[in-house]
């Protein structure tokens, strides 16, 4: 059952990531929508990793805790590269600003979020394969 849930979250993450790219590439880009899709893509990749590592307590109540929950599940003895956690924490720190903030974001803010989302996706995929998470295939 875990493999099915992992694949569900991966597909959702990939969908959000592709939506981010499409929304930003139009003649009239939807920057906030794209940025929010970037953040939700990272959340879904995190959910896939967490489910694959045995976490059954996924919650939408406080996304800020998602990075801590993921970090606790990662086996530090097998994992030298934790750069993805930094990308993830950055994106989570911008979620409220993107979705509800009063301040207008600069174009560079969006570009940074998009870059971090793509880097987190690559990192998550690498970690899923490295840890041999059931349901995670190379290239998903």
Between 107 and 17, residue with greater pLDDT? 17
| pLDDT (0 to 100) of residue 51 | 94
pTM: 0.92
> What is the fold, at CATH topology level, of the domain defined by 2-130?
1.20.120
| pLDDT (0 to 100) of residue 139 | 45
Residue 78 tokens, joined: 């097998």
Of 8, 66, 87, the C-alpha closest to 57 is: 66
| pLDDT (0 to 100) of residue 140 | 43
- On the question of pLDDT at 26 being above 60, the answer is yes
First CA to last CA across the chain, in angstroms? 18
- On the question of pLDDT at 38 being above 90, the answer is yes
The C-alpha atoms of residue 1 and residue 20 are separated, in whole angstroms, by 29
Phi, psi (degrees; rounded to nearest 5) at 135: 95, -5
| pLDDT (0 to 100) of residue 57 | 79
């Amino acid at each position: 059952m875990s493999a099915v849930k992992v694949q569900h979250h991966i597909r959702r993450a990939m969908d959000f990531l592709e939506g981010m790219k499409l929304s930003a590439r139009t003649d009239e880009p939807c920057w906030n929508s794209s940025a929010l899709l970037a953040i939700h893509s990272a959340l879904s990749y995190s959910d896939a990793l967490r489910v694959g590592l045995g976490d059954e307590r996924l919650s939408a109540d406080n996304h800020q805790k998602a990075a801590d929950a993921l970090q606790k599940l990662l086996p530090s003895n097998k994992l030298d590269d934790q750069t993805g956690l930094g990308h993830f924490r950055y994106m989570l720190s911008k979620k409220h600003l993107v979705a509800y903030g009063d301040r207008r974001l600069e174009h560079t803010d969006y570009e940074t979020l998009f870059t971090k989302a793509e880097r987190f996706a690559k990192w998550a995929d690498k970690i899923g394969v490295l840890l041999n998470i059931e349901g995670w295939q190379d290239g998903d």
